[in-house]
Amino acid sequence: MCHVGLACSSNRPTGWKKQVAGGSVDLPQSRVPWGETVFTKASIREQAMATRSGKRTFMAALVALFGLVSQPLWAHAHVTDTHPDDGAVLEQAPARLELQFDAPIRITRFDVSGPQGAVETSEDPVGPPSERHAAVPADTLEAGEYQVVWRGIAEDGHTMSGDYRFTIQE
């Protein structure tokens, strides 16, 4: 039930104001029925501003909380090292081709290609989860550009893939 001209001030829980010409007059609590709230244009505007501000603050806090709580869910294994290094120019063929990760990963694909096409490896890195995977070329690698393409599954179930290149000089 509304009383025209009466307003409840949220920062004055015990008092009511009556809008009169030239200002407002405090009314005793007993003059206003309990549970009835009447708003003036100004108090509606103030409450709307406070509500929007409160919602924005709440949403910002909620986003920050979820960001902190779910951060481990975003973490995937990352390549920390390759041998040879990505983009390396070597004077002689490497004995091993390696991938190192910051968390265990199960390699499901490890393909090496060079100037003559696919390169066979005598030691296959496909296998159980590990932080380090290595392959040994079956034959000595000839001079030219090589690419190692890999794919794997991290412990969190995410599929990951990548590649790196190196060159062997003549």
pLDDT per position as a tens digit, 16-62: 555 556 666 555 544 444 555 555 555 655 665 566 666 777 677 66
Please give the CATH architecture assigned to the domain spanning 76-168.
Sandwich (2.60)
Q: What is the pLDDT of residue 98?
A: 94
Return d(Cα 107, Cα 136) in angstroms, integer: 15
Q: What is the pLDDT of residue 54?
A: 67
Q: What is the pLDDT of residue 62?
A: 61
Buried b (16+ CB within 10 A) or exposed e, 116-142: eeebebeeebeeebbeebbbebeeebe
Instruction: Tell me the domain boundaries of the chain.
Output: 6-72, 76-168
At residue 129, does pLDDT exceed 70?
yes
User: Residues 167, 148: contact at Cβ < 8 Å?
Assistant: no
142 contact partners, CB below 8 Å, separation of at least 6: 93, 114, 115, 116, 168
pTM: 0.56
Give the least confident one: 67-76, 146-155, 158-167.
Answer: 67-76
Name the residue type at position 33: P
Average pLDDT over residues 116-133: 88
